């Protein structure tokens, strides 16, 4: 059970991964070109630059 962020400095690559079973949650969003991620959605929503509106296309794909 894991969710982790890895940054390869030499290759300048960023990996944001979680276990295949999905026990550990991983929430993410991009706002103004910045990637935000956390294991709880409320941590992301603490940032005032994050919009709190429904993405209808994303919601449809989720269902």
* Domain residue ranges of the chain, discontinuous segments joined by +: 3-62
The pLDDT value given to residue 23:
79
Place of tokens 């910045």: 34
* Residues recorded for the chain: 63
List of residues 6+ apart from 3 with CB closer than 8 A: 17, 18, 19, 24, 25, 26, 39
The pLDDT value given to residue 39:
87
The pLDDT value given to residue 6:
92
The pLDDT value given to residue 53:
87
The pLDDT value given to residue 57:
94
**3-state DSSP assignment of residue 46:** coil
Structure-block tokens of residue 13: 């690559």
The pLDDT value given to residue 60:
95
Place of tokens 């276990």: 19
Q: What is the pLDDT of residues 14-61, one digit of tens each?
A: 999 888 887 788 889 988 889 999 988 999 999 998 988 888 998 999
């Amino acid at each position: 059970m894991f969710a982790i962020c890895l940054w390869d400095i030499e290759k300048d690559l960023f990996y944001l991964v979680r276990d295949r079973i999905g026990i550990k949650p991983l929430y993410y969003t991009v706002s103004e070109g910045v990637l935000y991620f956390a294991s709880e959605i409320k941590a992301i929503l603490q940032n005032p630059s994050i919009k709190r509106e429904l993405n209808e296309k994303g919601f449809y794909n989720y269902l």
